[in-house]
Amino acid sequence: MNSFKFIAAAVSLICCLAMSAAVQRDDSPKNEMEQGWEALWTGNLSEALRISRLVLKGDRSKPEALRLFGLVLLHYGEPENAVKPLRNVALQRGECGDYRLLAVACDMAGMHEEANRVRLSAESSGNIKAPDLYALAWQKPGVDGRISLLKRIVEQFPSSCKGVPEEIAYWEQRRGRTLRRMDGRIPENGVTLKLRTLFNREWVVSREGSGEEIWLMVDTACRTTVLPRETAKKIGLSWIQASHPVAGAYPQEPAPEYGLLEKLDMGGLRFSDVPVIVVGDVVSNLKRRSGKLRHVYRHVADKTTARVVYKGILGMDLLRGMKIRFDRQENELRLFPEGADDATLLDGDPSTWTPIPAFSIHDQVFMHSSLGLQPRVLALVSSASEVDFASEVSLAGTGIVPNSKYRVDLNYIMGWFNECLPLAGEVKTVPETTDIGVGRSLNKAFMLPVYPEPIGSDVRAGLCIGKSLSDLFAVALDLDGGKIYLRQVHFEKGEAGRE
């Protein structure tokens, strides 16, 4: 009898150990995936890639590992390789978030027609939520399509539709319109917009429908045209509060107020129904001097008289599909049609330009770079930021250690960041010299500021490269072709903006 009890106990123990091992085996992939996601969102791309490959080696169809693998490739700046695994995930699971991420990858790879088809699939996919529908509505080129998706939020998610009926009423008054419509076409040889310089930034002089002059700051980090409230009031713009964060919003970015500018004329280019973000009255470059520029002068009969000019930021969504050359030395922004060849874009001599992989992500410009010990990171390009800065949440693998003893104030020097995101205030810095790679060049940044929040939404950058890029280079953008071109210049220009 005792022998039987011993055998039964032994069998029970063996079963328990086997079950425990099975549980551990079941949990192991999950734990590995958690580590993989943590590695990705902290910037340790090589570790995230290793884990995703390890999990896929055991199960090549595992959706979460395929999604991680695809996202790592996007962060490495390889969208053409990321499309296939992300497409497999979307087809396997059929979930809205997977289709939306696939659309981002297609846009990065210049596959815009497929991106539009994928977004249509996202609208009818499973596990869709109110914020998903709102982001998809924001990406609709036509007002009627936007209204349709906003109405679905009210019908399907009544507990999440606060503010949506008011937005529907706003857009109902504008039915039948196509957003960001450009009158005519850009000629084959392009259009040249002469820039003005103020506060050490470049501005395009534009006019809205009533003829009021507005200076729009050129910032390649700005998704949608931005106006401060004072300017919006001056031109009689009506605006409304967004009920959810817009497509491409950063985790720290609040739902904005927005309106529709019916006409905008920029150096002969005429746009209709331009979406604009309306920002508050915090003192910054857009609102300095109560939103007016009193330091732009006209000399008349040897007398200097002050002008009043209202300001904003030019949205890169207006330039979507164009090829762009930005030359601060010549004070020019040249715009070319989508079909322009390299010789036209690059001033007749492509051999003097260095190509670097670059992408449009939610209409912001990102490029290949390196940071510290990390040989390849994505960098957001902000042509209006006075400083380069790293993202504190994406420093893994860079060897960079921020120091809270030496701090700098980032308020008012970061262009779009200051206007549309919560103000950063004083931030940590890297007291040692930090290497930042730009093409074949290696810049040495001293006292590199470390921004405490993510840079990006679906795809995040390790750093932001500011005006240091256009201080050293003329810049040309062929984002559908996946390239930013740089040509070194000797840049010497004082404060301009005088007539």
Domains observed in the chain: 34-128 (1.25.40.10), 129-177 (no CATH), 205-318 (2.40.70), 344-488 (2.40.70.10)
How far is residue 101's CA from residue 69's CA, in Å, rounded to a whole number? 13
431 Rama sector, left if φ>0, alpha if ψ -120 to 50, beta otherwise: alpha
Q: What is the pLDDT of residue 156?
A: 97
Per the CB < 8 A criterion, the answer to whether 415 and 465 are in contact is no
How far is residue 459's CA from residue 118's CA, in Å, rounded to a whole number? 18
Q: Which two three-digit tokens encode residue 351?
A: 């051999």
Comparing CA positions, the residue from 424, 497, 412 lying closest to residue 455 is 424
Q: What is the pLDDT of residue 264?
A: 97
Identity (one letter) of the amino acid at 104? V
Q: What is the pLDDT along the chain (499 residues), one digit of tens a residue?
A: 445 444 444 445 444 444 444 444 444 555 899 999 999 999 999 999 999 999 999 998 999 999 999 999 999 999 999 999 999 999 999 999 999 999 999 999 999 999 999 999 999 999 999 999 999 999 999 999 999 999 999 999 999 999 999 999 999 999 999 999 999 999 999 999 999 988 888 999 999 988 899 999 999 999 999 999 988 998 999 999 999 999 999 999 999 999 999 999 998 899 999 999 999 865 566 765 433 444 333 333 444 455 667 889 999 999 999 999 998 888 999 999 999 999 999 988 899 999 999 999 999 999 999 999 999 999 999 999 999 999 999 999 899 999 999 999 998 899 999 999 998 889 999 988 999 999 778 888 889 999 999 999 999 999 999 999 998 899 999 999 999 999 988 655 544 443 3
Per the CB < 8 A criterion, the answer to whether 443 and 436 are in contact is yes
How far is residue 262's CA from residue 279's CA, in Å, rounded to a whole number? 18
CA-angle at 316, arms to 272 and 298, nearest 5°: 75
β strands within 151-190, DSSP E: 181-182
Q: What is the pLDDT of residue 180?
A: 97
Residue whose tokens read 């990858």: 105
Q: Which helix (H) or strand (E) holds 278?
A: strand 269-279
Does residue 297 sit in helix, strand or coil? Answer: strand
CA-angle at 169, arms to 163 and 170, nearest 5°: 90
Comparing CA positions, the residue from 220, 245, 230, 259 lying closest to residue 382 is 220
Q: What are phi and psi of 65, to 5 degrees?
A: -70, -40
First-to-final CA distance of the chain: 107
Q: Which residues have a Cβ under 8 Å from the Cβ of 145 and sit 6 or more positions away? A: 137
Q: What is the pLDDT of residue 21?
A: 45
Q: What is the pLDDT of residue 132?
A: 97
How far is residue 5's CA from residue 364's CA, in Å, rounded to a whole number? 71
In tens, the pLDDT along 385-423 reads: 999 999 999 999 899 999 999 999 998 899 999 999 998
Instruction: Determine whether 4 is exposed, middle or buried from the number of CB atoms within 10 Å of its CB (0-12, 13-18, 19+).
Output: exposed
How far is residue 457's CA from residue 282's CA, in Å, rounded to a whole number? 24
Q: What is the pLDDT of residue 13?
A: 45
Q: Which residues have a Cβ under 8 Å from the Cβ of 124 and sit 6 or more positions away? A: none
Q: What is the pLDDT of residue 285?
A: 67
Strands 441-445 and 434-438: antiparallel
User: Burial code of 304-340, b = ≥16 C-beta within 10 A, e = fewer?
Assistant: eeeeebbbbbbbbbbbeebbbbbbbeeeebbbbbeeb
How far is residue 254's CA from residue 359's CA, in Å, rounded to a whole number? 24
Q: What is the pLDDT of residue 5?
A: 46
Q: What is the pLDDT of residue 496?
A: 42
Q: What is the pLDDT of residue 198?
A: 85
How far is residue 250's CA from residue 381's CA, in Å, rounded to a whole number? 16
